[in-house]
Amino acid sequence: MIIANYIRPWAKGWGTFAGFFSRDDLGERRQIDMAETVDRTRNTTEMRRSAMDFPRRLDRARNLSDLAEIGKRAVEAAMGRSHQWVAGDTMEDALHVAREVNARGLDALINHLGEHHRDKAPVEATSQEYVRLLAAMRSNGIRGGVSLKPTQFGLLLGREYALSQILPVLDEAKKDGRTVWLDMESVPTTDDAIWICERLLERHDQVGICLQANLKRTSGDLERLLRAGARIRLVKGAYKESPDVALQSRAEIDRAYLAHLETLFTRARDFAVATHDDRMVARTLELAKAHPTPFDFAMLQGVRDPLERELIGKGQRVEKYISYGPKWLPYFSRRLREWPRDILVMVRSFVGG
């Protein structure tokens, strides 16, 4: 097949790509915890099998649809998607992981994957999905809240429309006092996301929003949102932004993160520290000794589970960010765009060695 012949040279490098994820000489040898070794080994074995079988399946591809499916399966195998960083395609998959998370003493923060909707039909379907999700969390006794992306709710169609689609989710969350979190997206959406957060806070005091330490505007946004009474989830930032709006070096971003962290401990009523970085965790624990402000650690599914257990053992609150749905690729791509040391944490948690 002509298309297969065109792609085959790339396929020869697939084994090398998979090998990157499965070898143990990844450079930086910090003492990073390795959890669920058997499951990680199983995922690595499946990935290697996929790598070896990829050229053979490529030969059998008959059309573009076949090639797309082969590519999708190959990427899933490389990511270790099953049982790793995404719960699965369905709500029940997410609830299953949430039950396990709750049993380990963590709260669940569930996100239905999807973003940048420009038509009303998928937006309204998303709103209904979150309402059903919250009802299912209630009936299943799941502890935790939900986290959603404004562009998933039609922000690109207008912020008033997006707010109207989020309000049914907020009303459902209010029934049992759950927090509704807004994930922060790229810079062009930031002002509208903050506006939506402020409108939601007028109806429910358990509303949170993610702020990105890499953005130069975050200090001002943090002051504004603290005055409004929002909960803050502090992250380093996973979106690629230009130097005029965002810090570019890891050292600068780390300094900004630590500065915002101190502001949260002295000014916030409750917040979340979203990090897998040992230095940020250590500084958080130091600040917690000096300030009684309640907070959570927030961590991604499939990353540094032993650290979570250690923190729970120390009496810390930890919440697990659990994503589900078929639209997983943009989410994972942002993880890979994060700085090399953060990628290293994720890769090594995957290979278990």
Active-site residues, by number, are 183, 233
Task: Please report where in the chains the tokens 């810390």 appear, as a residue.
Answer: 316
Whole-angstrom Cα distance, residue 329 to residue 334?
9
Cα–Cα dist 143/176, whole Å = 10
Strands (E), the chain: 107-112, 144-148, 180-182, 207-212, 231-235, 271-274, 295-300, 318-324
Dihedral pair phi/psi, residue 166, rounded to 5°: -80, -30
Residue partners of 211: CB distance under 8 A and separation at least 6: 184, 218, 221, 222, 225, 232, 233, 234, 235, 260
- Check: CB of residue 303 under 8 Å from CB of residue 345: yes
Number of Cβ atoms within 10 Å of the Cβ of 59: 11
Strand partners, 324: 112
Interatomic CA distance for residues 320 and 56, integer angstroms? 38
Among 142, 133, 168, 139, which Cα is nearest to 153's?
168
Output the CA torsion 63→64→66→72 (10° steps).
170
Beta carbons within 8 Å of 70's beta carbon, 6+ residues apart: 54, 57, 58, 61
Buried b (16+ CB within 10 A) or exposed e, 144-181: bbbbbbbbbbbbbbebeebbebbbebbebbeeeebbbb
Q: Is the distance from CB of 78 to CB of 13 less than 8 angstroms? A: no
Which residue type is seen at 210?
Answer: C
Query: In one letter, which amino acid is 142?
Result: I
